[in-house]
Copies of this chain bind each other. A is one copy, B any other.
């Protein structure tokens, strides 16, 4: 079961670059500048090996992308989509043979806003934060609730199967937020997957196949997104003796139907990092804690939700429950969680951070956090734990100071992934597969599912041109 991977020759690739320049003649639309190639083959956010493309093209439209794909087809040249470049698993690294990086960051227009239908149509290079800012500026009390890292764009978010802190309330990219997408397929054809209604049972939804596919099946050039109403919120920080009591409290709070937009678990090391950061006057207990964003239709509804949460959490052993007294306090408290990376990195002077995540059935979260922290404690690595507690999803930020510690961090991340899989979980809750998590997929999904995914990949991209070596199609790819 091998995919064709007879790519073009270096001479073919040179011809392809010439044709790209002819097809996209505007200035700065096709680049082989070494600095541009380097940027597009590396990342500030991860420590996977860099691997630059042969050329970077900056399309402005679906038609431009079609032109690029046709050239890639003609010269059997790999093609790698790129936009926000915030992914963490090397998701946009070129294969060693090179290829065309398709940088979609100029396709960053919001095309239509349908307020009464709670949806928008936009291009893939739109950042989710910009989309939400634009809605706010227009006085529209709707927002797009998927909230991965700052700078992430819609195309990348769909392709990564992203989520974020809001997922406990709103679910992930794999839910019903992506109403349809326009995709340029590996054969150069353009497909709009479905219409704009919220629901449809008109066969299987082709959209879904592209969510989490990391560009291996096509390039998304437009998307219709469902929006959610903006509700009032308030924030609490709750300190617990350990992750287990915090997790149990979360399960009960959720089952009581408390309106919570986010329920974030952080560990004692994180709270120490916050206190030690010098960023805040206040000091918090340095124990496993929850940051909760309550939401509701009125202030009274939020108060009631937080009252229930306080009662449940006290029952589960909470040692402190601080609810913001006004909007400014709520923003300030939430910023502590939001600036996790910043505070975490300050913990070890000069350190860099390896960020990795896994997800398990929620009842197994305390167990895997405990085991992972024990494992980390055996090394010289310092790490903070940040989890989306309501989802069973957690991150470690493994702080390393040199190449030797980077290797230790890599091994810790490996064992974390294996532990998650053993607990009926996944090696990647929301960061995607890229080149970083490929090796776990067979173990996690089983040979049958991998074969099935390969069958799909082969049918849609028989030449294996689209982001080869990524996502789930790893076992037969260039990188291995």
Contacts and interface: CB of A to CB of B under 8 A. Distances in A.
Interface of A: 114, 116-119, 141-142, 160-163, 167, 171-172, 174-176, 185, 189-206, 208-214, 217, 229, 231, 251, 254-259, 295-298, 300-301, 304-305, 308, 359-364, 388, 391-393, 420-421, 424-433, 437, 440-441, 444-446, 448-449, 451-453, 455-456, 458-460, 471-473
Contacts of A426: 194-195, 197, 199-202
- A-B residue pairs, 8 tightest by C-beta: A203-B472, A459-B459, A208-B208, A116-B363, A200-B426, A161-B201, A257-B297, A191-B448
A411 to B, nearest CB: 20
Contacts of A167: 199
Contacts of A197: 359-361, 392-393, 420, 424-426, 429
Nearest to A172: B199
A209 B204 contact: yes
Interface of A, helix, strand, loop or mixed by DSSP: loop
30 contacts: A114-B361, A161-B201, A161-B204, A161-B205, A163-B201, A171-B176, A185-B452, A194-B444, A196-B361, A197-B426, A199-B359, A199-B391, A199-B429, A202-B428, A202-B437, A202-B472, A203-B212, A203-B433, A204-B212, A204-B217, A204-B471, A205-B208, A208-B209, A209-B209, A229-B255, A256-B297, A298-B304, A301-B301, A456-B460, A459-B459
Contacts of A208: 174, 204-205, 208-209, 211
Contacts of A162: 201
A361 B112 CA distance: 14
Contacts of A473: 203
A194 B449 contact: yes
B430 A199 contact: yes
A352 to B, nearest CB: 23
Contacts of A429: 197, 199-201
Contacts of A452: 185, 191, 206, 460
A257 to B, nearest CB: 4
A107 to B, nearest CB: 19
Residue among A200, A258, A296, A440 with max Cβ neighbours from chain B (10 Å): A200
A200 B297 contact: no
Contacts of A441: 202-203
Given A116-B362, A205-B212, A257 B296 contact: yes
A172 B176 contact: yes
A321 B29 CA distance: 60
Residue among A114, A119, A298, A433 with max Cβ neighbours from chain B (10 Å): A298
Contacts of A201: 160-163, 172, 212, 426, 428-433
Contacts of A189: 448, 451
A148 to B, nearest CB: 10
Contacts of A255: 118, 141-142, 229
Given A175-B171, A197-B425, A359-B197, A308 B304 contact: no
A189 B455 CA distance: 13
Contacts of A304: 297-298, 300-301
